[in-house]
Amino acid sequence: MPNKKNSEKIYKKARQVIVGGVSRNTVFRKPYPDYANAASGCFITDIEGTVRTDFANNMAALIHGHSFPPIVDAVIEQLKKGTAYTLASEIEVAFASHLIDRVESFERIRFVNSGTEAVMAMIKASRAYTGRAKIAKAEGSYHGTYDFAEVSQTANPSNWGDVDNPSSVPLAHGTPLSVSKDVIIYPYNDIERTLAILDKQNEQIACVIVDPVPHRVGLMRGNQEFVEALHNWTRKNGALLVFDEVVTFRVNHGGAQENYRVKPDLTSLGKIIGGGFPVGAVAGSAEVMKVFDPHEKNLLLPHSGTFSANPITMTAGYTAMQYFDEKAVLRLNALADKAIQQIREAIKIADVPVSVTGAGSMFRMHLRPDPPTTYREAYLSQEGKMLINELLDYMYYQENTLMINTFSCMLSTVMTQAEIDKLAEGIQRAFVALKPKIEKLNNL
């Protein structure tokens, strides 16, 4: 590892004032994290002067990479007018209109400040509309840091229970027992088991949450039949079908839901719709979204937020999404397809048991010869996690390439074939360097 005196110095100070020295574990590295100095396009320069190609894009949030000039210019103009007011702003209306025109299932929308907050609002809206308390979510799926959304996010062989009746496993120590009792866990893409699980508590379920391409489950697509089965079940049983598209909205011009014949009642959004600023939104049918409406005589879900729909985020997000038009989406997805082809070729040349999953402009590599189809297949042992970290470190230090910590990549529109070539070549070298360990893992 290269000498990083500046980073070490800052981290020593950080440990004295910030718990663990970081405010999000995502950026933590041993013995200490690197600190960014500047970023432009698809490159980040740290305070030591090292330039890296960024395939993480702030955990999939930066669809146009860093310092995208149209966003910078628009935000500077808004900064001169103010950053937040206890008044509404016109840009909120323009952005809402854009998103509603973009997605068939969106009739009304509300903006919040993060993906976690969007999922939280979506769950609360489902409960308010149905009068029911329980929710159903896929085993291993990540939906932010709300107590109910966290359940079984990191379930493992020691506690996940039988596949026919997966356990509801709390994430944080001290989570109230009542939380787990109100979260039903189903196995993703398994119609028969999932419907059997839901049927047992059909009159108590407010919503079934679906991430159309769940990153933590394995970044595999929800198949058409599975999503349709869930839709039909919710129609029959008076529950809502809700999509978490915080990550997957980048998959198509109208989100990953564009791939399905059925549409969700509600959708949570975040990440790319903020244009690089904190953002979240919940959108859906006018009928369900009425639970937020202050015009209603019986307001079911009072909702506000100091920085919700602040004009800086709305300006940046509106600009970002205007530039992420259908042409840009198709180009970026084609670039991702090319990247996957080249990585599969690298896997073949290195002769390692590795597979790739993904959709749209995102993909993930798995240390197994066949792509996983379930969370339990994608689950990594401690040895597997350590090996993934070694591969990530190789890419980071030897190839100057930053990836997401699941060995995944999220592309940005400023990337070109040159960056894809560099990525594939670097991954091939990483596979060759760590081939004995990859083979050993598969033989355990």
Closest CA to 276 of 431, 118, 70: 70
pLDDT (tens digit per residue) in 360-384: 999 999 999 999 999 999 999 999 9
Classify residue 294 as exposed, middle or buried by CB count within 10 Å of its CB (0-12, 13-18, 19+). Answer: exposed
pLDDT at position 263 is: 98
Q: Which pLDDT score, from 0 to 100, does residue 268 have? A: 98
Residue that is written with structure tokens 């049918």 in the block: 285
The catalytic position among 244, 260, 375, 394 is 244
Q: Is 244 a catalytic residue?
A: yes
Q: Rounded to 5 degrees, what angle do the CA atoms 210, 162, 389 make?
A: 65
Domains, in order of start, for the chain: 34-63+326-443 (3.90.1150.10), 69-323 (3.40.640.10)
Q: One of 11, 260, 271, 394 is an active-site residue; which one? A: 271
Tokens of 132: 């029911």
Determine the pLDDT at residue 30.
Answer: 85
Q: In angstroms, rounded to a whole number, what is the distance separating the alpha carbons of residues 421 and 400?
A: 14
- Of 11, 142, 186, 375, which residue is the catalytic one? 142
Residues of the chain with pLDDT under 50: 1
- What are residue 356's phi and psi, to 5 degrees? -130, 135
142 labelled catalytic: yes
Q: Are 55 and 403 in contact (CB under 8 A)?
A: yes
